[in-house]
Amino acid sequence: MSDEREISALTASLARSALTRRSVLGGLAGLGAAGLLAACGTPGRKPSGGASSADGTPSPAKTPLAATDLSDTDKIVNWSNWPQYIDVGENDDHPTIAAFTKKTGIKVNYNEDYNDNDEFFAKVRPLLEAGKDTGRDVWVSTDWMVARMIRLGYLQPLDKANIPNAANLEPTLANVEFDPGRVYSLPWQSIFAGIAYNPKATGGKKITTMDQLLHDPALKGKVTLLTEMRDTVGLVMMEQGKKLASFTAADFADAIAVLQAAKDAGQIKGFTGNEYTKPLASGDTAACVAWTGDVVQLRADNPALGYALPTTGFTMSSDNFVIPAMAQHKKNAEKLINYYYDPEVMAAVVEYVNYVGPVVGIKDILTKSDPSVAKNELIFPTAETLANGQVFRSLTAEEETTFTRQFQSLVTG
């Protein structure tokens, strides 16, 4: 079995058993409120995946296949995204999409069929591998999945001439390890993972470190961690003083050992996608690893909930626009991406989804239209906060297989 196929096989059971960070958001939509119109990693799910050779050095991506672009005569674009990850209007429509169609004449076939990175990859890989059109012109993948698809030659380079608004990209996101110079991707939203807690269940105690989460006797049996390997293991490694940009296999194994000891001691009641939200709100879960966007929403209904981005470091990642090989409407997809990089448009999305938008200028817009969102440091973190964020480094195919096997054993063993 090839490394890539083994990776998919190893992660399949986790993907089936865990809700993604966005898939439960439909159930949260009723929370309402101006700053909680709906919907991070996130986390989710999350950071870099691998465009490197076995020795860790970058390896060239395979040349992607391109189809004849029908954009000039066929005014449609097919977009796959995660559930509840865009603005929604009173009639369950998407106002920004409607405005795009009115402005450009391009109809958007919008599908919320991206429920998990590995699950989605399993659907499109056979077509991509065979050099066939997936029926999609653009979709939104997490950093590490973007890296994998670049490595396999499954993504087309973006024509920036069709995306002049890419100049509005937040500078800190402009040159990332998995896609230097943003040749193949542009961020949709960014995601942070940290620690959430319910003061009623912790006896009023603030939970701000992974050490507390994994060892405080008062939390025993009331802690959940994420099925997102890069978030859960990454938070432990950072607390151990490791850098996510340069950790070793031994560092990863050490973190797994700490997590395994906590599990064996009964500290951890389970590993979840973002179905941690309801138990956290009720107090059945005292504390957990959580994504910022979820907590912003939960706080609208339960403002007492606590959240900490550990000072030793928290994980950061993005979900990104990409255009697959053999897409039939590439130019239309690039026009769509360009449209969402207009600060006014992206501000409307961020106001709704409550994640970290990648476009410069949206905070100024929201300061006028919705100050509660603009003042929320989980949506607009300070430079001091961002300095503690780290991105999980790219993995080789071999590393991804090995690390996933170790993490799966922890979660399901």
> Which domains are seen in the chain, by residue range?
63-190+318-375 (3.40.190.10), 191-316+397-412 (3.40.190.10)
- pLDDT of res. 42: 32
Instruction: Output Rg (C-alpha) for the chain, integer angstroms.
Output: 20
Short-list 96, 77, 74, 140, CA closest to 339: 96
- Predicted local confidence at residue 215, as pLDDT: 98
CA 84 to CA 369: how far, in whole Å? 22
Which pLDDT value is given to residue 84?
83
**How many Å apart are CA 382 and CA 364, to the nearest integer?**
14
Q: pTM of the prediction?
A: 0.78
Q: Dmax over Cα atoms in the chain, in whole Å?
A: 65
Answer whether the bond into residue 42 is a cis peptide, omega within 30°: yes
Spatial separation of the C-alpha atoms in residues 298 and 283, rounded to whole Å: 13
Residue of 276, 405, 410, 413 lying closest to 11 (CA atoms): 405
> Where do we find the tokens 């709704």?
352
Give the residue ranges of the chain where pLDDT is below 50: 11-59
Give residue-wise pLDDT tens across range 85-100. 999 999 899 999 999 9
From residue 316, how far is each of 137, 164, 189, 291, 357 by CA, in Å?
27, 26, 11, 10, 13
Q: What pLDDT sits at residue 30?
A: 29
- Decide if 353 contacts 26 (C-beta within 8 A): no
> pLDDT by residue (tens digit) across 243-285?
999 999 999 999 999 999 999 999 999 998 778 999 999 999 9
